[in-house]
Amino acid sequence: AVRSLLFGGGSGSGNMKEACLLVVDVGRTMPEQGLADIRSALQRYLVKCFVQGGMNELGLLLFGSDQTNNALNVDTNGEYESIELLRALAKPDAALIHQVDALANGSSNVEGDVIDAIVVGINELHLRVKHLKFSKRMFIFTSAGGATSSSEQIQDIAEIVKDQSIALNIIGIGFGDKNRTGSQIQNEASLRLLAELTDGAVMSADIGLKLLSRPACKAVRPTAKYRGALEISSLIQIPSNTFGKTMAAGFPSMKKQAQTAPGSTIKMETASFNKMTGQEIIKEQRLKAYRYGNALIPVSDVDESLFSCRDLKCLRILGFIPRSDVPRHLFMSSVDCVVADAKSPDAVAAFSAFVAAMNELDFVALVRYSKRDYSPARPGVLSPGLEGEADVMFLNALPFADDIRDYEFNPLSRFTVSDKQAAAVDALIDALDLSEASVDASGERVPALRPESTFNPVLQRLYATLHARLLSPGADVPPLQPEIRAPLEPNEDIFDKAIDAFSRLRDVLPLVVAPEADKSKAKGRRDWRSEINASLGDTDTPDQSSTVDVSLSDLMEKEVTIITTASPVQDYKSLIMRAGQPADSTKQLFDVVIQLIEQSFQGSGEAKAVDCIEAARQICLELSLPDPFNQGLSLTKARFMGSPFVAQLKSKRLFPINSDEVPTSSISPQEAVSFFDVPVIADEGQTQKVDEDSIWESAGWDELG
């Protein structure tokens, strides 16, 4: 009878696309707390569906509802009542989230018939999928307390479920409780029989809702990175495929949106400008350059492409070495797994033989790997899977010598560890053993902090925030879920049990805070900070020691005689304090300013040049010497007028020193403010001499100071 109401043949094809129907009991026998737990679990499940993306479809079917809306009710002239298809199968969207959030119990007089709901759900899946390439799944959330009218047809329903390849997952609210009614006991038995006949699953609310609420991970389609031969030699080539095993999950990219026009698309354009002239440089005129000493060596894209050691795609074994000769700390990047091509039985046999032999000898293979034609080849190591696992090898990238940081650390052998200390550390390690520190859903002891159960808190909080703001755009960032935070914090139960081990370790290895030595009073050494301050004019600082013949501070004490581009401001201050020639020192400083601007790459020296001019203005103002600064600023302006550097000086108000600041200045405040607005017209003869021995020779610097 039930079969005649539904359909005949089925599709039953497997694919990553899935049609999933959520069947929820909202009848009067469903406890309010149970329905609240279902809502919470479904919201988290929807987060997972949104994160994983793809073409999966979800539907929502309620039974025990005040409304009736399903195809079978129409076809049978009024049967299958109180079953409401609230949401037809479609890609999940915000509307589904709101519908789940609004789930509530029906009127007090309506009970839910779980068997009829399953029959309606089977029909809805069939009507949507038919012969499309979808896998089919049904989640049934029920307290199984309502009277059923089709329980005697469980055998027929099971045959249809198997024929249609529908995966049944039944989550029972209150299953196993001692205070169940007769209807609940009978319906639970019927559901367990149906699950047994269809290879489905019946789970308690604690286990089922926990599995459904499992945090979301981005789904990745199993696409081969490399399809080709595992080449041992030109005579032995095993067809194989390489798939990614691990890869760091990055923060997802986000689309840009204008706040003034939500929903609009933004087109981003970038441009490059010459900092000296302000002229735009088109892409075809741009060129990379590498600083090699003081020179900039141009490197084109064509040159850069020729640097890589490229090869046709290959996975070529170079030889075999003991596993112990390849330390794990040299493994780089993500891990790939290599398997034989399943379409070739000979390839599978040969591959299995190599995996078995490498495991028996405890050897690994060094390989040359290039996953695409003309891509850079890298060295790698192939390690066989453990015995008893599927025939697989794991591919790790190995570093070049350039990739290795060869640091040296002091050996620990100079410290002697007593037997008591070693035993105390051993006891602490045993006490903090995580191999059986956790309990799974079935109550068995399992290892804690397994990677597949430890989720990235940043990504999980992002997903929770997106979900919350889909419901309410102004929602705050939700707190991190306890199950996400817990694996990243010490387990209090484990550490509480290890108190005795900690105490024993503290007794045999007492740790005290060592007082920090006063380096400035160390015998035979000088305080280099004080020496630097002394070099900047603090000549009254007494020498704390004279027992060291040669030291860094001795070198710093040497008198500065010239201003360099390395530390121009410090050199300038040193010359002012020591030599007592502010005019000549200011002249040298502006020489360095011009050198920084002219020899810098893409304006990289402008910031240091501005610092020089700021320091010169401050010191010349304090010493009441406006002429050296004003003269140097005038020559700098004449040389770079119209450049972004001069505009930067104007924006920082680095004007000449005026007569209000120093009475001896020949520049009025009005002239100073408009200084960068009026171009300086230089004599033609003088302009021709600017690039000769010194730009200062014709400026009258010999008359200053």
Tell me how far apart the alpha carbons of residues 601 and 292 are, in angstroms, rounded to a whole number. 12
Domain presence at residue 527: no
If pLDDT is split at 50, 70 and 90, which confidence band does 504 have? very high
Query: Taking CA 512 as the corner, what is the angle to CA 506 and CA 515, rounded to the nearest 5 degrees?
Result: 170
Q: Are residues 361 and 434 in the same domain?
A: no
For residues 286 and 300, give the distance between their C-alpha atoms in angstroms, rounded to a whole number. Answer: 9
Are residues 15 and 146 both part of a single domain?
yes
Burial of 5 (0-12, 13-18, 19+ CB in 10 A): middle
153 within some domain: yes
227 or 306, greater pLDDT: 227
Looking at the fold, whether 53 and 135 belong to one and the same domain comes out as yes
Q: What integer pLDDT is reported at residue 147 of this predicted model? A: 82
**472 and 600 fall within a common domain:** no
Claim to verify: residue 496 and residue 630 sit in the same structural domain: no
| Least confident among 6-20, 69-83, 379-393 | 6-20
Residues 315 and 376 reside in one and the same domain = yes
d(CA 433, CA 445): 12
Q: How far is CA 586 from CA 57, 517, 567, 632, in A?
A: 76, 42, 15, 8
Per-residue pLDDT at 697: 46
Question: Are 380 and 245 in the same domain?
Answer: yes
User: Beta strand 201-204 with 166-172: parallel, antiparallel or unpaired?
Assistant: parallel
Contacts with 638 (C-beta within 8 Å, 6 or more apart), sequence order:
680, 682
103's tokens: 């789930």
Maximum Cα interatomic distance, the chain, rounded to a whole number of Å: 117
pLDDT tier for residue 197 given thresholds of 50, 70 and 90: very high
Least Cα distance to 456 among 244, 211, 213, 248 occurs for 248
Other beta carbons within 10 angstroms of residue 283's beta carbon come to: 8
**What CATH number has the domain bearing residue 84?**
3.40.50.410
- For residue 687, is it within any domain? no
Q: What is the pLDDT of residue 49?
A: 86
What's the rounded Cα separation, in Å, for the pair 599 and 607? Answer: 13
Kind of pairing between the strands at 237-246 and 226-231? antiparallel
Residues 273 and 382 in one domain: yes
pLDDT band per the 50, 70, 90 thresholds, residue 253: confident
Across the range 572-596, mean pLDDT stands at 82
For residues 39 and 251, the model is more confident at 39
What local confidence, expressed as pLDDT, does residue 13 receive? 39
Region at 54 (left for phi over 0; alpha for psi -120 to 50; beta for the rest): left
The answer, yes or no, to whether residue 678 has pLDDT greater than 60, is: no
CATH number at residue 367: 2.40.290.10
Residue 5's identity, in one-letter code, is L
pLDDT-derived band at 541, boundaries 50, 70, 90: very low
- The pLDDT-based confidence of 658 (bands split at 50, 70, 90) is very high
Q: Is 331 a member of any domain? A: yes
Identify the pLDDT of residue 554.
Answer: 41
- Quick one: what percent of the chain has pLDDT higher than 70? 85
What are the DSSP calls for 297-326, one per residue?
EEE-HHHHHHHS-EESSEEEEEEEEEGGGS
What pLDDT does 241 receive?
93
Q: Is 53 left (phi over 0), alpha (psi -120 to 50) or beta?
A: left
**HEC profile of 222-233:** CCCCEEEEEECC
The string of DSSP letters for 343-390 reads T-HHHHHHHHHHHHHHHHHTEEEEEEEESSTTEEPEEEEEEEPPTTS-
Of residues 576 and 369, the one with the higher pLDDT is 369
Cβ(164)–Cβ(47) below 8 Å: no
User: 676 lies in which domain range?
Assistant: 568-680
Whether 46 is in a domain gets the answer yes
pLDDT for position 545:
40
Under the banding of pLDDT at 50, 70 and 90, the label for residue 532 is very low
Q: Name the domain boundary from 403, 430, 452.
A: 403
Q: Is the pLDDT of residue 579 over 80?
A: no
State the average pLDDT over residues 352-356: 92
Residues 482 and 588 grouped into a single domain: no
Q: Pick the residue with more confidence: 539 or 252?
A: 252
Which pLDDT does position 559 carry in this prediction? 60
| Range 619-633 average pLDDT | 89
How far lies 695's CA from each of 360, 642, 698, 701, in Å? 79, 19, 7, 10
Structure tokens at 697: 């020779």
Better-scored residue on pLDDT, 120 or 53? 120
Cα distance between residue 703 and residue 425, in whole Å = 79
Global pTM?
Answer: 0.60
Q: By three-state DSSP, how is residue 266 classified? A: coil
DSSP run (H or E) holding 276: none
Are 569 and 611 within 8 A, CB to CB?
Answer: yes
pLDDT digits (tens, 9 = 90+) for 27-72: 988 999 999 999 999 988 888 888 877 788 999 999 999 899 999 9
Split into its structural domains, the chain has a count of: 4
pLDDT cut 90: percent of the chain above it: 31
**What average pLDDT does the chain have?**
82
- The CATH number of the domain holding residue 426 is 1.10.1600.10
DSSP annotation of 238:
E
Q: What is the pLDDT of residue 601?
A: 62
Winning range, highest mean pLDDT, from 297-306, 534-543, 626-635, 685-694: 626-635
Residue 694 has pLDDT above 60, yes or no: no
DSSP 141-206: EE---S--S-GGGHHHHHHHHHHTTEEEEEEESSTT-TT--HHHHHHHHHHHHHHHHTT-EEEEHH
pLDDT tens, residue by residue, 291-344: 988 888 999 888 887 887 777 899 999 999 999 999 999 999 889 999 999 899
pLDDT average, residue stretch 384-389: 74
Instruction: Kindly state whether residue 340 falls inside one of the protein's structural domains.
Output: yes
Residue 544 lies in a domain: no
Does position 245 have pLDDT exceeding 50, yes or no? yes
Residues 209 and 226 grouped into a single domain? no
Pairwise pLDDT comparison (457 vs 389), residue with the higher score = 457
Helices (H) and strands (E) in the chain, counts: 24, 21
Comparing 54 with 475, the larger pLDDT belongs to 475
Residue 423: inside a domain: yes
Whether 281 and 345 map to the same domain: the answer is yes
pLDDT grade, residue 249 (50/70/90)? Answer: confident
159-163, 239-243, 486-490: the lowest-pLDDT one: 486-490
Q: Which of 376, 403, 430 is the last residue of a domain?
A: 403
Q: Are residues 187 and 226 in the same domain?
A: no
The per-residue pLDDT for range 428-456, each reduced to its tens digit, is 999 999 888 877 766 778 888 888 888 88
Q: Which of 37-46, 258-267, 349-358, 522-531 has the lowest mean pLDDT?
A: 522-531
Domain boundary among 356, 377, 403: 403
